[in-house]
Amino acid sequence: MSKRILFVFTSADKTLTGAQTGWYLPEAAHPYYILAPKYDIDFASPKGANPPVDESSVQNFKDDVGFLSDETVKQKFASAKKLSDVNVSDYDAIFYVGGHGPVIDLAQDPVNAKVASEFFQAGKVTSAVCHGPAALVGAKDANGDSIFKGRRATSFTNTEEEQVNKVKDIPFLVESRINELGGKFEKAPEPWGVHVVVDGNLITGQNPASAKGVGEAIDKALSS
């Protein structure tokens, strides 16, 4: 039986400034097409079916729009589970897709914090890219500490956030929060560079360009 991965998407469609947001297209598409041939993948979000895509990501990543018209993918979105209905024991890994949305909803969601904590404490692959690590800020290890405490991790950086002029759109900066939680934050030498960090079962990627590498790291972890 093939291993199973849960892709988690935001349900938030507006930032704090009222700008349209959602999940970021390449951050779902790139890992999906690396992992889908080998693993069973289910989709989930706080509100369930058809989570909103960030429209700017559809405009900026035209090469990935096929993901949105892929019949299998459309079916997965239509049948996406509510996070409250997720049974952690059904899965071998969890992956949080980025976009500004996760900082708005998943970061504050107690149901999500419980799900993420259960994955991590069970030794299952717990992974995220770009703003996706914001969904892990409430996750705790077996000692009750943040899963970032003393562990290496990355996310969308403060510099990258400033460069896209979105600091006021989100309740906190993800890099700053990981540092506040005791994480050993790492990043590419230059903004927008590819950077993937693996520390035990915690796998994180910095930005859209790192999404493919996160997919490869999940595959490697599940294959070993």
pLDDT for residue 82 = 98
Task: Give the CB-side neighbour count of residue 169, counting CA atoms within 13 A.
Answer: 21
pLDDT for residue 110 = 98
Chain centroid to Cα 71, Å, comes to: 22
pLDDT for residue 130 = 98
- Is the confidence at residue 224, as pLDDT, over 90? no
- What mean pLDDT is predicted for residues 10-14? 98
Kindly state the tokens that stand for 40: 């069973």
Mean pLDDT of the chain: 98
* Domain layout of the chain by residue ranges: 2-221
Instruction: Tell me the per-residue pLDDT of 76-116, one tens digit each, with 9 for 90 and over.
Output: 999 999 999 999 999 999 999 999 999 999 999 999 999 99
CA-nearest of 127, 22, 1 to 68 is 22
pLDDT for residue 113 = 98
Neighbours of 60 (CB within 10 A): 13
How far is residue 211 from each of residues 48, 78, 121, 130, measured CA to CA in Å?
23, 23, 24, 8
Q: Which CATH superfamily is domain 2-221 in?
A: Class I glutamine amidotransferase (GATase) domain (3.40.50.880)
Please state, in angstroms and rounded to a whole number, the distance separating the CA atoms of residues 147 and 192: 25
At residue 133 the predicted structure's pLDDT band, cuts being 50, 70 and 90, is very high
- What mean pLDDT is predicted for residues 197-224? 98
pLDDT for residue 1 = 76
- What mean pLDDT is predicted for residues 50-59? 98
Please state, in angstroms and rounded to a whole number, the distance separating the CA atoms of residues 215 and 121: 21
Query: How many percent of the chain have pLDDT more than 70?
Result: 100
Please state, in angstroms and rounded to a whole number, the distance separating the CA atoms of residues 48 and 161: 28
- What mean pLDDT is predicted for residues 169-173? 98
Kindly state the tokens that stand for 108: 């504050």
- The radius of gyration of the chain from alpha carbons, rounded to an integer in Å, stands at 15
Asked if residue 57 lies in contact with residue 88, where contact means CB atoms within 8 angstroms, the answer is no
